[in-house]
Amino acid sequence: MRLNTQRRCWFRLVQWMTPLGLLMLFATQTGFLLQTGWTPLPVRDDPLVRMPGTQPGQGVKLESPDRCQNCHSGYDPVAEPWTMWQGSMMAQSARDPLFWACLTVAIQDSIWAIGRPNGADICLRCHMPQGWIEGRSDPVNASLMTRSDFDGVHCDVCHRMWNPFFEATHTGEREGSDWRGYWDEATSASQTAANTTLQADRTQAQTIRLFNGGNFFVNNRPFSSEYDENAAGQYFIDSNNRKRGPFADAEARHQMFYSRYHKSKYFCSTCHDVSNPVLANLAYANARPGDNVVLPTEQKPAHSYYHVERTFSEFILSAYGQEGGAPGIGPFAPDRFRTSQPGNRIAMCQDCHMADVPGKGCDMRNAPNRPSREHPKSGVPTHDLTGGNIWVPWLLASAVRGSPNYDAVNARLLGQGPNVLTLDLRQGLGLNPSALLNAVERAKNMLRAAASIQHLEYDPQTGALRFRVQNQTGHKLISGFPEGRRMFLNIKVYRGGTLIHEVNPYDYNVGTLKGLSQAYSPNSPLLAAHEVYIDALVYEAQMSSSLTGEQKTFHFVLADRRYKDNRIPPKGFRIEAATARLAEPVWEGFSRPDYFTPEEYAGGYDEVSLQVPAGADRVEVNLYYQVTSREYMEFLRDEINGTGRLTLPARAYIAQTDPFFARLRAWGDTIWQLWERNKNVPGAAPFLMTQGVWTR
């Protein structure tokens, strides 16, 4: 089908326009922008949310994770995939209350901006992937989600994925051809198995289509040479019930393929570089399936447009992301941390987040013990999948009667049921409080290992204080979803046991840092005479939006730039390549590649120098982490309720009146009450990652 003349001219006109200009033109063309009423459009027909990969309703069906439990649980809590996965945020991505409140705001924002709620599709595709793949993500209020949709990123989601860059991986162009090193393959048996997988991938590639109906793959490679990563939830899922895993010598009762992809760093890019396709495709808002257009998101990698988070880009820009990887730091150093890489180097995300252990991957009698003859350096990848979220798993566990941290109020708030919250804790596998609380402890250990305070020096004569914050991870410190998440340095200076000076004090009664600007945080307490707030020592990414006019915004689906990003780079960070991935430092709205020195980029640290009072006999430098903040909780409450400190025109606030939000509108009060009751639980309250102390 050819575009009509009017559409062709309109598409050419908008190529050069800013997001705000595009939205205003879109309003003129459609009459939707800033209207209370809105017109639905099926997600499958919406070019704004279209990205490459398997599409909803394409006929792909996934098995529920309880089918996998039969063989992959109950025999070894350390090595078996099941136990640790069940406590992870992967398994709880669809039960996370922050997700539900954020989803509600995203839907409201999407209706205000583009006249339809489909912008929230980018939330569902990563948090409820089975429901998304099987076509239950439309409508995007998640009202059709059911059963194992609530088990989040589960077994079949990952183990049915195939590599869209199968040819480049197979030839060694992509990750390299170090079959015995990076891939840990002892004999030609692995290559033979990889050849079989290659043929299956070539067959699957024939099922992937562009929005216009054309083939996404040409000669078994993506049609666009610019498209070099699948990210932002661009799943490529095997249409047949065949499992894929990282071992050529595995034994199973189901059909399976040996997948180098599953032990490649690029596997993790699928979900951990998140971008917003709505703003990238806005020029084509009026296109429909079959129109003779190719969308920007189909031609370019997600890291090139409108960022939400950039964890994978941060890793690929680090020394660890280069071919062959690099030795780790601190607790991840080669003499302390084992990987399957030569010299115990770190070369893939899985080295830290799915660390190998000896054992079996399933309970079958003839299953190989790992390491095995064919993969002599690789243990069983623990399905630990731990990040830094220590608050949400604790909250979820507290909703289960009999849990050591059971809280009746939390249980009531989280258990209001699907008619009130859409969230249904009874669907799928439900909650395992023991697994959740164990996951909290693993996350705490991960946070403690992530950083160290080094080279702490204080001059009592002058008050000169110097130290280094060493990033010991493979990405920025901190990383991931930016909204409400922060890490900060708190410095306390004592003389004779008396606190005489404090940098970045935190008020636990109010639940936030003191001294924040009133425009950003009106409830932030004023500083005392001996206290000071230093923004450069609060490490965070704050988004900005030309659509809302906010320098600092929590409207992530409307964000098109960053106001602040001073998070500490990982070791060997290639700043010269970071701007192309929208991952360079930003300060007060301006790109600042020079924010860190070449030495800091190379070493992965922040060298801090400041002046504090002289004559002290003790100085404490504390590094704290928060999963979320009071400021974000207030935003979610107010935006959903349509009261308080509002950031959009009054007519945008339809969550309390539009029937589309009938089973979501209670999230405004619910998320606030959950935070208010649990604001002093670690994660909501600052968690001490590491400390340095100087004494006379």
- Residue 91 sits at the vertex; the CA angle it makes with 86 and 92, to the nearest 5 degrees, is 110
Residue 168 lies in a domain: yes
331 and 247, same structural domain? yes
For residue 555, give the nearest of 278, 207, 221 by alpha carbon.
Answer: 278
Q: Which long-range contacts (CB under 8 A, 24 or more apart) does 185-190 make?
A: 185/248, 185/374, 185/375, 186/373, 186/374, 186/375, 186/376, 187/374, 189/248, 189/249, 189/374, 190/248, 190/258, 190/374, 190/375
| Predicted pLDDT at 57 | 85
Please give the model's pTM, rounded to 2 decimal places: 0.94
At residue 144 the predicted structure's pLDDT band, cuts being 50, 70 and 90, is very high
Q: Domain range for residue 418?
A: 392-445
84 and 19, same structural domain? yes
User: Is 564 strand, coil or helix?
Assistant: strand
Q: Hey, how many other C-beta atoms are within 10 angstroms of the C-beta on 11? A: 17
Q: Are 205 and 394 in contact (CB under 8 A)?
A: no
- Mean pLDDT value of segment 399-428: 98
| Predicted pLDDT at 29 | 46
193 and 230, same structural domain? yes
Residue 386 lies in a domain: no
426 and 371, same structural domain? no
Checking if the pLDDT of 272 tops 70, the result is yes
Checking if the pLDDT of 30 tops 60, the result is no
Q: Are 538 and 513 in contact (CB under 8 A)?
A: yes
| Predicted pLDDT at 365 | 87
Checking if the pLDDT of 35 tops 90, the result is no
| Predicted pLDDT at 20 | 55
At residue 253 the predicted structure's pLDDT band, cuts being 50, 70 and 90, is confident
Q: How far apart are CA 588 and CA 325, in angstroms?
A: 33
Checking if the pLDDT of 27 tops 60, the result is no
- Mean pLDDT value of segment 19-27: 54
153 and 126, same structural domain? yes
| Predicted pLDDT at 307 | 87
204 and 188, same structural domain? yes
Q: How is 258-277 classified by DSSP, letter by letter?
A: E-GGGGSGGGGHHHHSEE-H
Choose one of 331, 356, 381: the last residue of a domain. Answer: 381
Residue 274 lies in a domain: yes
438 and 557, same structural domain? no
Give the tens place of pLDDT for each residue, 517-553. 999 999 999 999 999 999 999 999 999 999 999 999 9
513 and 364, same structural domain? no
Residue 223 lies in a domain: yes
Give the tens place of pLDDT for each residue, 84-132. 999 999 999 999 999 999 999 999 999 999 999 999 999 999 999 999 9
**Placement of tokens 């326009």 in the chain:** 17
| Predicted pLDDT at 31 | 44
613 and 497, same structural domain? yes
Q: How far apart are CA 371 and CA 121, in angstroms?
A: 41
**H/E element holding 619?**
strand 618-626
Q: Is 20 or 68 the better-scoring residue by pLDDT?
A: 68
Residue 252 lies in a domain: yes
456 and 441, same structural domain? no
Q: What are the respective helix, strand and coil percentages of the chain, to the nearest 5?
A: 35, 15, 50
Give the tens place of pLDDT for each residue, 286-295. 999 999 999 9
The residue count for the chain: 696
672 and 651, same structural domain? yes
Checking if the pLDDT of 24 tops 60, the result is no
- Mean pLDDT value of segment 501-506: 98
Choose one of 381, 405, 425: the last residue of a domain. Answer: 381
- Mean pLDDT value of segment 602-610: 98
Choose one of 362, 381, 400: the last residue of a domain. Answer: 381
For residue 595, give the nearest of 535, 515, 517 by alpha carbon.
Answer: 535
| Predicted pLDDT at 436 | 98
Please count the structural domains in the chain: 3
For residue 434, give the nearest of 391, 405, 412, 392 by alpha carbon.
Answer: 405
Q: Report CA-CA distances (Å) from 261 to 169, 175, 244.
A: 8, 10, 9
Residue 622 lies in a domain: yes
Percent of the chain whose pLDDT exceeds 90: 93
Residue 387 lies in a domain: no
Residue 67 lies in a domain: no
Q: Are 565 and 595 in contact (CB under 8 A)?
A: no
- Helices H / strands E in the chain, number of each: 23, 24
176 and 142, same structural domain? yes
- Mean pLDDT value of segment 211-224: 98
| Predicted pLDDT at 665 | 98
At residue 12 the predicted structure's pLDDT band, cuts being 50, 70 and 90, is very low
